[in-house]
């Protein structure tokens, strides 16, 4: 399951995976995030808040995740990855080559710092 919390005032979405990710998780995230993007033209940022990387329940879930990233990365200023998983730093380096948004990793318990970074200057 993917919990999606949106703060319209801050133009921010927080994605918190709770277990392996499914294709339906990304469809649900779209239903929550896309109307806000349509209304505002974009988001200041997204925070991925996961103590560890949960993985996907299927190949189609992974493809839905990649499509979600492809469809949204140009509509975001920043992406913060707040995790204690070593994959966080690796994703930061890798993502910077493929997405338009700025990407930065934080420790899992540094969610406040991730929010402050997204709220800061572009």
The pLDDT tens digits for 56-114 are 999 999 999 889 988 988 899 999 999 998 775 556 556 665 778 888 999 999 999 99
Per-residue confidence (pLDDT) for residue 2, from 0 to 100: 95
Q: Which domains does the chain have, with CATH numbers?
A: 2-119 (3.30.750)
Whole-structure pTM over 0.75, yes or no? yes
- Per-residue model confidence (pLDDT) at position 55: 87
Quick one: pLDDT at residue 37?
93
Q: Rounded to whole angstroms, how far apart are CA atoms 91 and 111?
A: 17
Residue 3 has pLDDT above 80, yes or no: yes
Q: b/e for 98-110, b at 16 or more Cβ within 10 A?
A: ebebbbbbbebeb
pLDDT score recorded for residue 70 = 87
Q: Give the pLDDT confidence of 22-37 residue by residue, as tens digits.
A: 999 999 999 999 999 9
């Amino acid at each position: 399951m993917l919990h999606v919390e949106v703060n319209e005032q801050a133009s921010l979405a927080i994605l918190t995976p709770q277990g392996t990710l499914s294709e339906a998780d990304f469809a649900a995230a779209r239903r929550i995030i896309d109307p806000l993007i349509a209304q505002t033209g974009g988001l200041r940022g997204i925070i991925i808040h996961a103590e560890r990387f949960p993985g996907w329940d299927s190949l189609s879930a992974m493809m839905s995740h990649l499509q979600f990233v492809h469809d949204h990365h140009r509509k975001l200023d920043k992406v913060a990855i707040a995790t204690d998983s070593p994959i966080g730093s690796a994703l930061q380096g890798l993502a910077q080559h493929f997405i338009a948004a700025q990407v930065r990793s934080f420790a899992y318990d540094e969610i406040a710092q991730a929010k402050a970074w997204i709220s800061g200057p572009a």
